[in-house]
């Protein structure tokens, strides 16, 4: 079928279209990728995540130029060289630190938006599953990055988290030593986590983002009412000029301009944090160099891991690990635990609405308790109760969604 216009100017639109199908690409990805009108700013979170990932990538590349993955040199290469010698080195470090923290805030908002509006079922299961893949990959990326400055929190977080792989009474110490490449976190450990952080996991994340976008293309994004839109009819209305009557808008340029508006506000806040309040993303304990003979008085993970950490803590070792394991994978199964056929916002789903808010409050409670030292019995009890509630929410959803009445969807 190949037909090439001899007279097309190199790199002109026509020339490109004949060679890489530029117009088809534009249609599929932009001008004829239809987005419902009936959505709100919460649907911009996905693009905020993509943009934040971009910032993490750029600042990370800059940091790489002076970072040294060596237990003797790492701490100073970050805290001395990059922070006070390299021109604007502090800027990249603060962007990277703030970005790594804020990206989890946006991920949680994005996830809970999906849960609230039921965007994980009836054709959107793969969006949810690839999203969970991203969540796992981002968690691994954050953890491996946290090792790199080789401060006290790096070392002891590395110790505690790799010890999880001994699987409690199974005593798989060989596996732990294999992961570390040493009896304790050392040079081999730092170097392999450096490799994971700067190459393998980012590659996986990029692949997963492409997959996530791919899984969105056919089901399209959900909307505020969970309405099943006939995209073809609506798109035809738009194209015929009846833009008011159409329920959809093209992704680009129309929806993208809305995305960019939300993104602008987000980046004002983001850079306010980078310049004036970066300290929330920099744990003071990690400004002491790693010392294998001294545990910091109180070890806690970054805020975004606190809820699952608090599920580990109140139980005995084996039960704690099992509970923790369940909590880590629980969200993956959401599309299959929710048995209700309704794709609708939580406020239209009766008991599900209560379930949703209990989940939100419970996770915030777990997060708050996880930050406190383990010695206060009142807070330890609250943590225990919150952990038990979290574990019961899964079976509860199964029951609630089974007895939920199908919504009557008249026109």
Partner 1 sequence: MEKNRRDFMGMALGGFAAIGGVGALYAMKRTWDPLPSVKAAGFTTIDLSTMEPNKLVVEKWRGKPIFVLKKTADMKADDRDVVIGSDRFHVSIGLCTHLGCIPAYEGAEHKFKCACHGGEFDASGRVLKTPPPSPLVIPPFKIDGNKLVLGETGPEYKKMQDAGLIA
Binding site for ligand HEM (CB under 6 A): 43, 45-47, 49-50, 53, 107, 110-111, 114, 117, 119-120, 124, 127-128, 131-132, 134-135, 138, 209, 212, 216, 221-222
Give the gyration radius of the chain's Cα atoms. 24
Residue 127 partner contact from ligand HEM, partner 1, none using kind-dependent CB cut-offs of 5 to 8 Å: ligand HEM
Q: Could you give the angle at which helices 125-147 and 187-195 cross, rounded to 10 degrees?
A: 140
* Residue 164 interacts with partner 1 (CB under 8 A): yes or no: yes
Exposure on the CB side of residue 411, measured as CA atoms within 13 A: 1
Closest CB 281 distance from ligand HEM, rounded Å: 17
Closer to partner 1 by Cβ: residue 90 or 315? 315
Residue 315 partner contact from partner 1, ligand HEM, none using kind-dependent CB cut-offs of 5 to 8 Å: partner 1
* DSSP category for residue 386: H
Residue 94 partner contact from ligand HEM, partner 1, none using kind-dependent CB cut-offs of 5 to 8 Å: none
* Residue 175 interacts with partner 1 (CB under 8 A): yes or no: no
Listed in sequence order, the DSSP H helices in 169-316 are 173-180, 187-195, 201-217, 231-239, 256-276, 306-312
* 258 SS3 class: helix
Closest CB 259 distance from ligand HEM, rounded Å: 8
Closer to partner 1 by Cβ: residue 89 or 151? 151
* 183 SS3 class: coil
**Taking CA 276 as the corner, what is the angle to CA 270 and CA 279, rounded to the nearest 5 degrees?**
90
* The token pair that represents 50 in the structure block: 């993509």
**Taking CA 86 as the corner, what is the angle to CA 82 and CA 88, rounded to the nearest 5 degrees?**
95
Q: Could you give the angle at which helices 187-195 and 152-163 cross, rounded to 10 degrees?
A: 80
Closer to partner 1 by Cβ: residue 312 or 346? 312
Contact window for partner 1 (CB under 8 A) among 59-67, 91-99, 295-303, 352-360: 295-303
Closest CB 18 distance from partner 1, rounded Å: 37
User: Site for partner 1 (CB under 8 A): which residue of 264, 293, 406, 408?
Assistant: 293
Work out the number of other CB atoms within 10 angstroms of the CB of residue 211: 17
* Residue 325 interacts with partner 1 (CB under 8 A): yes or no: no
- Total residues interacting with partner 1, rule: CB under 8 A: 36
Closest CB 319 distance from partner 1, rounded Å: 9
Closest CB 244 distance from partner 1, rounded Å: 58
* The token pair that represents 176 in the structure block: 């732990």
Closer to partner 1 by Cβ: residue 2 or 297? 297
* Residue 341 interacts with partner 1 (CB under 8 A): yes or no: no
Of all residues in this chain, which one has the CB nearest to ligand HEM in the complex? 46
DSSP string, 318-379: HHHHHHHHHHHHHGGGHHHH--------GGGSTHHHHHHHHHHHHHHHHHHHHHS-TT-HHH
Return d(Cα 30, Cα 21) in angstroms, integer.
14
**Under 8 Å between Cβ of 306 and 367:** yes
Closer to ligand HEM by Cβ: residue 133 or 370? 133
Contact window for partner 1 (CB under 8 A) among 34-42, 134-142, 153-161, 338-346: 153-161
Residue 356 partner contact from ligand HEM, partner 1, none using kind-dependent CB cut-offs of 5 to 8 Å: none
Residues 6+ apart with CB under 8 A from 176: 162, 163, 165, 166
DSSP string, 9-70: PTTSHHHHHHHH-HHHHHIIIIIT-EEESS--GGGGHHHHHHHHHHHHHHHHHHHHTT---S
User: Site for partner 1 (CB under 8 A): which residue of 31, 163, 191, 224?
Assistant: 163
Residue 92 partner contact from ligand HEM, partner 1, none using kind-dependent CB cut-offs of 5 to 8 Å: none
Residue 95 partner contact from partner 1, ligand HEM, none using kind-dependent CB cut-offs of 5 to 8 Å: none
List residues near partner 1 by CB under 8 A.
156, 159-160, 163-164, 168-169, 177-184, 186, 188, 192, 292-299, 313, 315-318, 320, 373-375, 380
């Amino acid at each position: 079928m190949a037909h090439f216009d001899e007279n097309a100017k190199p790199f002109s639109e026509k020339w490109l279209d004949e060679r890489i199908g530029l117009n088809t690409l534009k249609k599929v990805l932009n001008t004829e990728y239809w987005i419902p009108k009936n959505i709100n700013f919460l649907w911009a979170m996905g693009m905020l995540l993509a943009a934040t990932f971009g910032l993490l990538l750029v600042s990370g590349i800059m940091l790489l130029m002076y970072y040294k993955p060596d237990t003797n040199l790492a701490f100073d290469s970050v805290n001395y060289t990059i922070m006070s010698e390299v021109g604007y080195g502090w800027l990249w470090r603060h962007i990277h630190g703030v970005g790594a923290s804020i990206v989890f805030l946006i991920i949680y908002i994005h996830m809970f938006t999906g849960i609230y509006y039921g965007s994980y079922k009836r054709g959107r299961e793969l969006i949810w599953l690839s999203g969970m893949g991203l969540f796992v990959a981002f968690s691994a990326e954050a953890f491996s990055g946290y090792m790199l400055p080789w401060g006290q929190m790096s070392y002891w977080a590395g110790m505690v988290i790799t010890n999880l792989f001994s699987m409690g009474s199974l005593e798989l110490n060989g596996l732990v030593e294999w992961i570390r490449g040493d009896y304790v976190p050392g040079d081999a450990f730092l170097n392999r986590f450096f490799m994971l952080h700067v190459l393998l996991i980012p590659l996986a994340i990029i692949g997963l983002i492409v997959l996530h976008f791919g899984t969105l293309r056919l089901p399209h994004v959900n909307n505020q009412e969970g309405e099943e839109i006939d995209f073809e009819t609506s798109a035809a209305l738009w194209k015929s000029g009846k833009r008011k009557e159409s329920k959809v808008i093209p992704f680009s340029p129309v929806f993208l301009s809305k995305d960019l508006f939300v993104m602008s506000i987000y980046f004002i806040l983001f850079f306010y944090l980078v310049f004036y309040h970066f300290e929330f993303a920099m744990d003071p304990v990690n400004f002491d160099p790693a010392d294998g003979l001294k545990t910091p008085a109180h070890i806690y993970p970054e805020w975004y891991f606190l809820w699952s950490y608090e599920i580990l803590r109140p139980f005995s070792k084996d039960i704690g690990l099992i509970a923790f394991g369940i909590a880590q994978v629980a969200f993956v199964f959401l599309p299959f635990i929710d048995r209700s056929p309704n794709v609708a916002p939580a406020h239209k789903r009766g008991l599900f609405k209560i379930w949703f808010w209990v989940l939100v409050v419970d996770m915030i409670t777990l997060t708050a308790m996880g930050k406190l030292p383990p010695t206060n019995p009142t807070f330890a009890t609250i943590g225990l109760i919150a952990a038990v509630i979290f574990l019961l929410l899964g079976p509860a959803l199964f029951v609630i969604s089974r007895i939920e009445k199908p919504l009557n969807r008249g026109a």
